[in-house]
Amino acid sequence: MANLNLIRIAGSSYCASGRWSVGVYMDPKTKCSVLIDSGASAGVAREVDHAVKEYGGNITAIIMTHGHEVQCRGIHYFKEQYPNIKIYSTHQTGMYMQHMIDESDTSRGGDSNKDEDHERIHSITDYIPYEEGSFQIGSIQLQIVTLPGHCAGMIGVITPDDVVYCSDALFGYHTLSKQKLLFYTNIADAKTSIRKLLSLRSEAYVLYHGGCIRKSKIMDLANQHLTRINKLSNVIYQIIKDRPITLESIVEKVMRRYEIEQTMQQYEITSEITRAHVTELRRTGQILPNLFEGYLYFTGSTQETIPGTDDQEEHILESNANYLSS
């Protein structure tokens, strides 16, 4: 018996129990099963496979909602078990996966997972148009909904049971209680996607990090996300508005304010989140960029945009002191 089980959401729509809620839609007549994402590892994929088999299902296809590793790491297992399996993604997701693999090749050299990673990108058999509409896999009719914001090219899937698998457009309550910053790479798109999910008025939503959220709770969850997003934007604006400051210094102040763990992984995540909020503040005209002596500064749109020589020197000394004391 596998440790992981399938949770019935409605009709023939399921999700995997545990940390990563891999989606499963099982055709009630043929038992052909479509997965939404593949799992965070071969071990997770194996348990999903066993759980589907216990329900009499046969996995014939996977829809990749986006290209982050915790969605994609199970592809290798399923390709080994089902050589003819169909794996679908958007073109944007395919390009993102290739970009991440290229970067990984450069940084890690001869890592033992290199061949597996390259197989993953070449395992995509068909591309899904990045647009709203119906999508047929065998006898299964699904609806695709575009959900940018967390990752470019991300999609959600709506089953005939009116269950929305919304990937990482929203995160569950447990994730909200643990994560101080929400990972979105485009703030305007993230807000649009959240509001789009609300407009669907579906009976149930499955979050990859959070499991099933029923219709009665989705408004509260969405509002918590929007509040958290707006609060961080305001925090970053307050950091920027009074004096010119570099992106690197903004990241440092965000990490200190939210007591983010001082690791390279957390730095990279915080940097990407911060950059997204800075980009949105620029887009809405609240801050302005200025290049000065090789440094890119940001400041409030009503403030002086050229840092004084003394200010620049103080900034460099302060940054060095913070680095040495951290």
- Least Cα distance to 120 among 108, 102, 138 occurs for 102
Where do the structural domains in the chain lie, given as residue ranges?
6-228, 242-325
Statement: 242-325 belongs to CATH 3.30.43: no
Report DSSP state, residue 124.
-
Tens-digit pLDDT profile for residues 191-207: 999 999 999 999 999 99
pTM: 0.87
Tens-digit pLDDT profile for residues 123-163: 899 999 999 999 999 999 999 999 999 999 999 999 999 99
> Does residue 187 contact residue 281 with C-beta atoms inside 8 Å?
no
φ/ψ (deg, to 5) at 89: -155, 170
Q: Which fold has domain 6-228?
A: Metallo-beta-lactamase; Chain A (3.60.15)
Sheet with 86-90: list strands edge to edge.
Answer: 6-10, 13-16, 23-26, 32-36, 58-63, 86-90, 126-128
Q: Is the pLDDT of residue 306 over 60?
A: no
φ/ψ (deg, to 5) at 97: -60, -40
Same fold, 6-228 and 242-325: no
Give the model's pLDDT for residue 97: 82
**Residue 322's Cα: distance from chain center in Å?**
31
Q: Is the pLDDT of residue 116 over 70?
A: no
Give the model's pLDDT for residue 102: 55
